[in-house]
Structure 1
Amino acid sequence: MESSIQRKRVIFSLSNNIYENLALENYLFEHLDPQEALLFLWRNTYTVVIGRFQDPEIECNLKALQVDGIPLARRQSGGGTVWHDLGNLCFTFMSSKKFFNRDNNLILIQRALQNLGFPVEINNRHDILLHGKKISGSAFREKADRSFHHGTILVTAELDKLHYYLKPELEKPQSRHTRSVSSPVSQLSAWQKDICISDVETMLKDSFSPKPAETISIEAVLHDPLYFNYLYQMQSRDWIYGPGAT
């Protein structure tokens, strides 16, 4: 089936802003050619990102985020809360449903990391584990004719900040919202100190497509109302915190 794909593309974002990158991801998803498979690679500065159906009060320390000026974002996909920084590589696989296979995506990442010397494994929650600890989680989004699979790979992230900001202030035992599943985490640099983001980016790119990667900038898509409107939505308090947020 995969041989029927006419084109594979790898695109790097030139932005490190979470709202811009979520909007770029949506822009690429909405403009996807049905005969195309795409790998979007992106990174963000300090950010906490919650899943679409989560309550930020029980997922992170909102007071600490506000005091320290760290943004909170809500993505379109489900799944749990994650910490982003420049040591955390974000990936998005997208294609028409005809070609979409989340297991193949994870196997591609697994083999790429194994080629870099990391004996990683995949569990039944679509997490990637290194020596029994989670280094990558995934979430998914579908439309009628296309799907995407995105996630993060902890490479050289600041794990102390991850643990600090993802420790919630409140407990709501009866909350109807989706809760994150707590897992012990690690990162690639804990096992190979000289690993860097570019090593992982290059291996993923080469594993996905031998063609040169492209880049995308915010300036290239600002004219598109689809991008602009989605960017506005991603930054709105109603979207992030819920209707009526002040």
Structure 2
Amino acid sequence: MTLRLGEPPVVVNVGVGVHGVSNRRDVFLLPDLWQLHLYGYTARLTVGGTTQAIRPGHVSLIPPGERVSYLYNGRSEHLYAHLRLPDRGPERTVPLMQDAGAETPLLGSLLRQAVAVAPATPVMAAAEVWAALWRVAHLAEAAGPHAAVGAAIAHIESNLAEPLSVPAIARAAGISHNHLTRLFRAEIGDTVVGYIRRRRLEQALHLLRESTLPIPAVAAAVGIADLQAFNKACRRELGASPRAIRSRRTEAAHGGGPPPREETGPDEGSAKP
């Protein structure tokens, strides 16, 4: 199915659904609303004559006008949002049912926050659901040909500021260290360590250019708390010291000026943002 996410959705209802207590089957249809569900149980879902297995951590996105049938195994609880989607923005193709994998905690947090703020601040609830929808739309893309690589990337992206090791990332992806190493090289064209290094420096470049965070805070935010190591990594990967990168941003914002002087010292600890 296709959807557009160029603008925030209109969230008509968001909450926690509890089913399967007195009746094992639900059959219904929402003529005008999309349905987003994040599941915490095992069941079966039939949409348009096709049956899907539900497992904890699975997420479904059902378009308007589809007859939906749930078959529960007992008390079943899920987070849900009923919404209208805009018709602006590029089209994205999203499977009806996906395994959220490592994204499950984040999706759950976004939807629970939407539930909490919806009564008082519906606009904020819409923002939380919009963020969840973008995550859902990217699940298939992030997973790539092998879901374990997507799970590994999701773990890395969520923990760039923390110490990361290949064995820990492999555990988060549910495969062995050696298997992850082989898959990563085949599908990403880089080592796990190389990918982490590249993403940290890309994030550092963004923060140096676009934020006023002090340079030590930027280093900590991308998981390179040692300032000498951060300075060397910036010089090697970005071609300039953190201070020079920050100065070029400032110079451009003020319409030009003399080129910044490249620092020769190894430590950026005393640098001013």
TM range (shorter): under 0.3
**TM-score, with length taken from structure 2:** 0.20
In terms of fraction of residues, the more helix-rich structure is 2
**TM-score, with length taken from structure 1:** 0.21
Higher RCO (C-alpha 8 Å, min separation 6): 1
